Chain A
Amino acid sequence: MEFVVTVVSHDRPGLIADVTGAVAALGGNLESSSMTLLQGHFAWTLVVAFDADIEVLRRELLAVCPTGVTVSELADEAEPSTVVGDRIVVNLHGADRRGIVAAITRVLADAGGNIVELSTHLHEGMYLGTAEVEFGQRVDLTALSEALAAAGSDVGVRVTAHREDPDVL
C-alpha cells in the first residue's frame, strides 16, 4: 500500500532524519519525495510504501512531528506515460498582485498543457515563477508565447516560454 505523507512545520535540524527513521522503523520504504522551504516553513511531501495500518503510520509520525503531519492512502493509478508531444518551460516575473498564477495557468490549461513542475516565490513585492508543462502534441511555441505574454501583461508580469529539448548522450 502506498501513502502520501505531508509534513509542514517550522524547520529544525534532524526533522527529516526523524521522519525517515520512523518510516524505516515501521518497515516502510520512502519512494519519492519533494521538500522545500516556503517563506521559512519546511514543506515536504512523501510517497511511502508500507504494509500496515494507516493509523500506526500516522501515530508514529505525529510522535516525531506533533504539528502539521497528514497521511492519506494513495489511490492505485497506472504509472503516467512518459510519452508526450512537447515539453515547455515557462518563466514569469513581475510586481506581485492577485491572480498572476491563476491567469497564466489558465492559458496553459486552455492550450492543453499539463503542469508537471511548478515553483513560485514572493519576495519583497516581486513575484517569480517557473513551470514545466507537458502537451499531448507538438505546440506552436510562437502562438503560445504570445498568449502567455498577453495574459501576463493583463496582470503586470513578463512571461516567456521556451522548449527544453534534452540531448541524449
Chain B
Amino acid sequence: MIGRSIALELPPGRIRPVVRLPAEVLSRPCDRVDPESDEVVALAADLLATMAVSPGCVGLAANQVGSSLRVFSLNVTGHPKTRTSHGAFVLCNPELVAASRNAKGREGCMSVPDWTGDVKRATRIEVAGTLPGTGEQVVLATDAFEAIAIQHEIDHLDGLLFLDRLPDARALHRRVNYQ
C-alpha cells in the first residue's frame, strides 16, 4: 500500500441515518462549502462516524446523510482492490483535475440498496480539494479502488448515482447479499 494518510483533527461525530432512493436530496447538485466553518467540521466528523459503523461502506457523500453540501468521506484501507490509499479522510469542494485509464466494474451504493450496475470509471485520477478544519488545499493522486470510489462520491455531490451512468440496458443487476 502506498500513499500518505491524511491527518485530520476533528471532534467526535454523530452517527446519522443514510438516506435512500428516491430521496430528492440524492438527485440535486450539492452546494460549495466553507471548509473551516463549524458546520462543515461537524459534518466531516459525522460522515467518518457514520461510515465507520456501516458494514462494507468505503465512502459517504454529505447528501447521503441529508446535507446538500460538497463534502465526502472515504476510507478504502484494507479493501482487496485498493492499491494507493490515503487512509480515512474527508474532502471539501472536490474537483477531478485528471482522469485516465477507464475500466468497467460492478458498483453498488448504500443509498440504492437492492441494485448494482456495471459502470466505467477512470483508474488513475488526481483530485483537488480542501481539508475540513485546517482549510489546507490538497491535490491527491491515486489509482485503482480509491480512484473509483472518489469518482462515485463526487458523482453523488453532482446529484448523480451509478444508475445515471449505466452504459446499456443490461448493465443493471439485482444486488446479491452474500451469506
Known interface pairs A82-B114, A116-B174, A132-B173; A167-B81 also in contact (CB < 8 Å)? yes
Which residues in chain B, 43-67, are within 8 Å of chain A measured between CB atoms? 56-59
Is A25 on the interface with B (CB-CB < 8 A)? no
Check if B107 sits within 8 Å of A166, measured CB to CB. yes
A119 on the B face (CB < 8 A): yes
Q: When chains A and B are docked, how far (Å) is the Cα of A23 from the Cα of B56? A: 41
- By size class, the interface of chain A is 10 to 19
Given known contacts A167-B105, A167-B108, A82 and B145 CB-to-CB distance under 8 angstroms: no
Query: Closest chain B residue to A86 by CB distance?
Result: B178
Taking a contact as CB atoms under 8 Å apart, the answer to whether B109 and A169 are in contact is: yes
Residue on A nearest B117 in the bound complex, by CB: A166
Are A82 and B106 neighbours in the complex by a CB distance under 8 Å?
no
**Nearest chain-A residue to B80 (Cβ)?**
A165
Contacts of A116 in B (CB 8 A): 174
> What is the interface of chain A mostly: helix, strand, loop, or mixed?
strand
Q: Which residues of B contact A164 (CB under 8 A)?
A: 106
Instruction: Please give the distance in Å from B12's CB to the nearest CB on chain A.
Output: 25
Our pick among B59, B176, B177 for the contact of A169 (Cβ within 8 Å) is: B59
Count B interface residues, CB 8 Å: 28
B152 at the interface (CB under 8 A from A): yes
Contact of B176 among A87, A119, A137, A167 (CB under 8 A): A87
A-chain residues with CB within 8 Å of residue B174 when the two chains form the complex? 82, 116
Question: Is residue A125 within 8 Å, beta carbon to beta carbon, of the partner chain?
Answer: no
Taking the nearest CB of chain A, how far is it from the CB of B111, in angstroms? Answer: 10
Indicate whether A117 reaches chain B with its CB closer than 8 angstroms: yes
Q: Which residues of A contact B179 (CB under 8 A)?
A: 83-85, 137
- Which residues of chain A in 48-107 are interfacial with respect to chain B, using CB atoms and an 8 Å cutoff? 82-87
| Contact code string A124-155 (vs B, CB < 8 Å = 1, else 0) | 00000000101001100000000000000000
* B110 and A168 within 8 A (CB): yes
Residue B148 is within 8 A (CB to CB) of chain A in the complex: yes
Residues of the B chain whose Cβ atoms lie less than 8 Å from the Cβ of A132: 173
B4 interfacial by beta-carbon distance below 8 Å: no
Which residues on B sit within 8 Å (CB–CB) of A86? 178
User: Which residues of B lie under 8 Å from residue A83 when comparing CB positions?
Assistant: 176-179
- Inter-chain CA distance A134–B56, complex, in Å, is 21
Is B85's CB within 8 Å of the partner chain A?
Answer: no
B residues within 8 Å of A by Cβ?
56-59, 79, 81, 105-110, 114, 116, 145, 148-149, 152-153, 162, 170, 173-179
Given contacts A83-B179, A117-B173, A164-B106, 10 further A-B contacts (CB under 8 A): A82-B114, A83-B177, A83-B178, A165-B106, A167-B58, A167-B148, A167-B149, A168-B108, A169-B148, A169-B152
| In the A-B complex, the 6 residue pairs with the closest CB atoms | A166-B116, A169-B152, A168-B108, A166-B106, A166-B108, A83-B177
Q: Could you name 13 residue pairs across A and B whose Cβ atoms are closer than 8 Å?
A: A83-B177, A84-B176, A116-B174, A119-B170, A166-B116, A166-B176, A167-B58, A167-B107, A168-B58, A168-B109, A169-B107, A169-B152, A169-B162
